[in-house]
Amino acid sequence: MSDYLFDKQGKDPEVEKLEDALGPYGYDGEAPELPEPKRRDEPVVSLPARARRDREDAPYRPPLMPGFRWPLAAAVALGIIAAGLSWSAIKKREADVRKGWNLVPVAVASVDLSEGTVVTMEMVSQRSVPEQFVTSSVVQPDSASYIVNQKVMMPVAAGDPLLWSQFETTRASERLSRKVQRRTRALAVEVKGTTSVGGWVRPNDHVDVIGTFKDPQTGEQVAVTLMQNAVVLATGKITGTTNINLIPEGQRDYNHLSLLLLPEEAEMVVLAQELGALTFTLRNEDDIDVLAERGRATINTILSGERTKVLQQKRFNTIQVIRGAASPAPEQQ
């Protein structure tokens, strides 16, 4: 059997028609030379190595993070933030739970105390209790000395915290007359914050008393130093030996001072209160000197300014001495 495409025998009109159409495009030149086959000893460059060589020859470009990594990085950051917030919340919760249960020391009875017992330091000990049970009515260890030699008004079991309310206040048994020396008098004078150095006057302080009233001869206002170096026996109901911790805070304020004066001085102060107002100036506890001439100031003293200049220089020299400067001490007037 013959086949026109295989042995050119017979006829095939369609193939002959196709040959006639492609005939002008045929190649009549010499056959091209083929490359020689590679020797076995020649190294073969793999595709990955060639790709690396091409990358080395190409200019450097910084790598870019693929888009799919941004969501992952954001998720990691949010996870870290959430972990931090959770840790803070747990720590806060722990602090809230512990709050009030931290132990603080308080003064307690080391032995059983019966009613009327006078407390000594050997009867006082300390132990730690949760801070939520400690109020201002509980005696602190650093204030234990205030209850020594005080009587308890009720039985206290060993180990029980000591309360200020369990003790008899010294104010109940205190008598101001015991502090008044012979041939002297105690006189109460009304005061307010502005006339008692802002409330800083305390028992046993030394003060000067200045009276302000109208001069009956001239009719002008005059300020006169009535008393110098007067001793304050009490402020309100508090004396120098009163245990202030046994007195409620609301009763520690005062509106009068009790001064230790001679009978004649008491007369002058009483009259001065009726005629005008009294103001107290606070002295240094070691300053017991008094001026030979009593001070006096009028409106003319203020307006003229002559006395102001002299006193200003004197005050300047005195303050320098107080500060410990090298300037000489002022001469006694």
The pLDDT score that the predictor gives to residue 105 is: 93
Q: Where are the strands (E) in 67-164, listed by range?
A: 103-109, 124-130
Q: How far is CA 273 from the centre of its chain?
A: 44
| CATH architecture under which domain 103-168 falls | Alpha-Beta Complex (3.90)
238-257 exposure pattern, b = at least 16 Cβ within 10 A, e = fewer = bbeebbeebbeeeeeebebb
226 has pLDDT over 80 = yes
Radius of gyration of the chain (CA): 53
User: Phi/psi at 124 (nearest 5 deg)?
Assistant: -115, 130
- Structure-token pair, residue 175: 């008598």
Distance CA 23, CA 194 (A): 132
pLDDT tens digits, one per residue of 132-170: 888 888 888 988 887 888 888 889 999 999 988 888 654
The pLDDT score that the predictor gives to residue 253 is: 86
From-to residues of CATH 3.90.1210.10 in the chain: 103-168
Distance CA 113, CA 134 (A): 21
Total residues belonging to the chain: 333
Pair 109, 154: CB distance under 8 Å: no
The three-state (H, E, C) secondary structure of 142-209, written as one string: HHHHHHCCCEECCCECCCCECEHHHECCHHHHCCHHHHCCCCCEEEEEECCHHHCHHHCCCCCCEEEE
- Structure-token pair, residue 84: 């931090």
Residue that is written with structure tokens 């001869």 in the block: 217
- Structure-token pair, residue 291: 């001026």
What band does 60 get if pLDDT is binned at 50, 70 and 90? low
What band does 59 get if pLDDT is binned at 50, 70 and 90? low
Q: How far is CA 279 from the centre of its chain?
A: 36
The pLDDT score that the predictor gives to residue 14 is: 77
How far lies 330's CA from each of 219, 306, 327, in Å? 36, 20, 9
Lowest mean pLDDT among 42-46, 85-89, 160-164: 42-46
Quick one: how many helices (H) and strands (E) in the chain? 8, 9
Give the type of residue at 89. A
Task: Label residue 160 exposed, middle or buried (CB < 10 Å: 0-12, 13-18, 19+).
Answer: middle
Within a 10 A sphere around the Cβ of 226, how many other Cβ atoms? 18
pLDDT tens digits, one per residue of 206-216: 999 999 998 88
Q: Which residue has the higher pLDDT, 46 or 253?
A: 253
How far lies 167's CA from each of 62, 133, 151, 163, in Å? 84, 20, 6, 8
